[in-house]
Chain A
Amino acid sequence: MRHQTLVSAVVVSVVIAIAMAATSSVAGQSAPLEKPRAVAKAVAPTKAYAPPKTPDGQPDLQGFWTNSTYVPLERPNNVTKEFYTKEEAEAAMKRAAERESEQTEPGTTADVHYDFTQFGLDRSQSTFATSFRTSQVYDPPDGKVPPMTAEGQKRVQERNAARKTAGGQYDDVKNMPIGSRCIIMGGAGPPLQNAGYNANYQIVQGAGYVMILTEMIHDARIIPIDNRPAPPSGVRQWTGISRGHYEGNTLVVETTNFNGKNPFRNGSENMKVIERFTRVADDAIEYKFTIDDPSTWTRAWSAELPLVKTGGPIFEFACHESNFGIANILAGAREDEKKAAGQKKGSSN
């Protein structure tokens, strides 16, 4: 870790994130966590980190970053505190890495997959961020996403009913999940979410704009920072429409105008996402987000996800062009139908 300063208790929990390269073939091995500095909770910063500036004076957030982490969004049920100790954090990370590389039972559905470890796709083989946080959600203080409103629950039921009306998942390509169809995946956000693998981002800042490129699956969010108003409510996009501004060294991005086709945790198209990016070290950005969607959740809620420096470049993820899985899946479904029809015919004879 190159940064040596303490900023605040919350910052400390993120700053401990270590951009590490675990090259071992054994999942779960990783660089040890830095000695915890959460004890500095009440300590005022002695020397705040001063981020470099871009030529036009923005706090420099540029570079390649990853939010790959074993910290879960919600706090595990058996955990009641906001931060682990160093030993607890290491143990939790080790358990998660071991689960990720566990063996599957031959002949089971879960086994029908290529081995992720062989292809370097389990998180511990890549740069990933560590944190003492027990959950990404820090508000509400219980570390859980708040309960859904009655309206939110009704919307979920209606969405499920609409899916059933449309037929089986493999009846039509349009019934398949949008990730499978290479339209968009969860990591793009907003909010930025850990995509599991290839969880990488590139931030580029130009005069008046910030661009966030998401590797999975090659989505670029272009954010004006010139205080222009949000567009009319009729203009809607998959990743919403973002507007940014700076509060000190923090980039604050507000996103509205979602099209509702890619709902984050079943949120509504009227969801507002407020993201805060603060460079807290050469190799770490504190990334926080708040979800404000009164028609879905009983209160606004906030989370913090480590974002640490990783290597570039980001390679194009030309998902759609080589998505042979779609055709294979549909062909497989038709084959299943033929078999089922044959069995039905056989049993009626």
Chain B
Amino acid sequence: MRMKLVAASVGVCVLLGASHAWAHHAFAAEFDVNKPLTLKGSLVKWDMVNPHSWFHVNVKGPDGKVVEWLVEGGSPNQLIRMGVTKTTVPIGTELTIEGYQSKDGTNKAVGRNFVLADGKRLFLGGSAGSVSDPSKIK
């Protein structure tokens, strides 16, 4: 999977990922295409709720102040079926999240890409093993 990280501050945010349009609502209505961003921080909580999960991430700003951001991700149902649990991504995991900020300017974003500290994409599906196998459910 191609992926490049470029600072949003320079206005060139190269975000690559799936383009599938299946979704239960239009994300472009919730988040601002003109506000691409890159967040670096540590996971403090993952709400595995439908229709969309929310990652709570502590992000340290330029002034050293830590601010909590909420980042929207995918439906947990499929992940649970694949064996993913709340602990699959441990609290404290360092993440770089590329996405778009909410239109209302609050600290919310959609997570276009979730990247781990070693540069690998957080790939919940493929890392979880076989699907449709109840024994995989932890």
List the interface of chain A (C-beta within 8 A of B): 19, 21-25, 27, 66, 100-104, 106-122, 125-127, 169-170, 176-177, 179-180, 182, 185, 196-198, 215, 217, 310-313, 315, 317-319, 321-326, 328-329, 331-336
Question: Do residues B13 and A107 form an inter-chain contact, with CB atoms below 8 A?
Answer: yes
A317-B25 contact in complex given A108-B33, A114-B111, A328-B104, C-beta closer than 8 Å: no
Task: Tell me whether B90 is interfacial, beta carbon within 8 Å.
Answer: no
Question: Do residues B110 and A125 form an inter-chain contact, with CB atoms below 8 A?
Answer: no
Contact of B75 among A112, A117, A198 (CB under 8 A): A198
B residues 16-44 with Cβ under 8 Å of A?
16-33, 36
Task: Tell me whether B119 is interfacial, beta carbon within 8 Å.
Answer: no
Question: Do residues B103 and A335 form an inter-chain contact, with CB atoms below 8 A?
Answer: yes
- Chain B, residues 72-88, CB within 8 Å of chain A (1/0): the string is 11110111111010000
Question: Do residues A125 and B131 form an inter-chain contact, with CB atoms below 8 A?
Answer: yes
Looking at chain B's contact residues, is the secondary structure mostly helix, strand, loop, or mixed? loop
Q: Which residues of chain B are near A110, meaning CB under 8 Å?
A: 19, 21
Tally of chain B residues near chain A (CB < 8 A) = 66
In the A-B complex, the 10 residue pairs with the smallest Cβ-Cβ separation, listed nearest first, are A120-B125, A119-B74, A332-B103, A115-B17, A196-B22, A311-B132, A25-B126, A322-B49, A180-B25, A116-B18
In this complex, what residue of A is CB-closest to B113? A115
- Chain B, residues 107-130, CB within 8 Å of chain A (1/0): the string is 010111110000001111110111
List the interface of chain B (C-beta within 8 A of A): 1-2, 13-33, 36, 47, 49-52, 54, 72-75, 77-82, 84, 99-100, 102-105, 108, 110-114, 121-126, 128-134
Q: In the complex, what's the smallest C-beta–C-beta distance from A315 to chain B, in angstroms? A: 5
Q: In the complex, what's the smallest C-beta–C-beta distance from A47 to chain B, in angstroms? A: 28
Q: Which residues of chain B are near A312, meaning CB under 8 Å?
A: 134
How far, in whole Å, are A114 and B23 apart by their CA atoms in the complex? 10
Question: Do residues B79 and A185 form an inter-chain contact, with CB atoms below 8 A?
Answer: no
Question: Do residues A106 and B15 form an inter-chain contact, with CB atoms below 8 A?
Answer: yes
Q: In the complex, what's the smallest C-beta–C-beta distance from A311 to chain B, in angstroms? A: 3
How far, in whole Å, are A23 and B50 apart by their CA atoms in the complex? 23
How far, in whole Å, are A174 and B36 apart by their CA atoms in the complex? 30
Q: Which residues of chain A are near B81, meaning CB under 8 Å?
A: 126, 311, 315
Contact of B54 among A196, A198, A324 (CB under 8 A): A324
In this complex, what residue of B is CB-closest to A313? B134
How far, in whole Å, are A207 and B31 apart by their CA atoms in the complex? 49
Q: In the complex, what's the smallest C-beta–C-beta distance from A238 to chain B, in angstroms? A: 16
Q: Which residues of chain B are near A107, meaning CB under 8 Å?
A: 13, 33, 36
How far, in whole Å, are A116 and B26 apart by their CA atoms in the complex? 14
Contact of B14 among A25, A106, A115 (CB under 8 A): A106
How far, in whole Å, are A179 and B22 apart by their CA atoms in the complex? 12
Contact of A120 among B49, B52, B78, B108 (CB under 8 A): B78
Question: Do residues B123 and A122 form an inter-chain contact, with CB atoms below 8 A?
Answer: no
How far, in whole Å, are A343 and B73 apart by their CA atoms in the complex? 33
Question: Do residues A331 and B103 form an inter-chain contact, with CB atoms below 8 A?
Answer: yes
In this complex, what residue of A is CB-closest to B103? A332
How far, in whole Å, are A215 and B132 apart by their CA atoms in the complex? 14
Q: A111-B15, A113-B23, A198-B75 are in contact. List 5 more A-B contacts (CB 8 A).
A: A103-B18, A180-B25, A185-B24, A322-B52, A332-B102
How far, in whole Å, are A114 and B112 apart by their CA atoms in the complex? 4
Question: Do residues B51 and A323 form an inter-chain contact, with CB atoms below 8 A?
Answer: yes
Q: In the complex, what's the smallest C-beta–C-beta distance from A56 to chain B, in angstroms? A: 26
How far, in whole Å, are A185 and B75 apart by their CA atoms in the complex? 15
Q: In the complex, what's the smallest C-beta–C-beta distance from B41 to chain A, in angstroms? A: 17
Question: Do residues A335 and B131 form an inter-chain contact, with CB atoms below 8 A?
Answer: no
13 A-B residue pairings within 8 Å (CB atoms): A21-B133, A66-B132, A102-B18, A116-B18, A119-B74, A217-B51, A315-B77, A318-B50, A319-B24, A322-B51, A325-B51, A332-B103, A335-B104
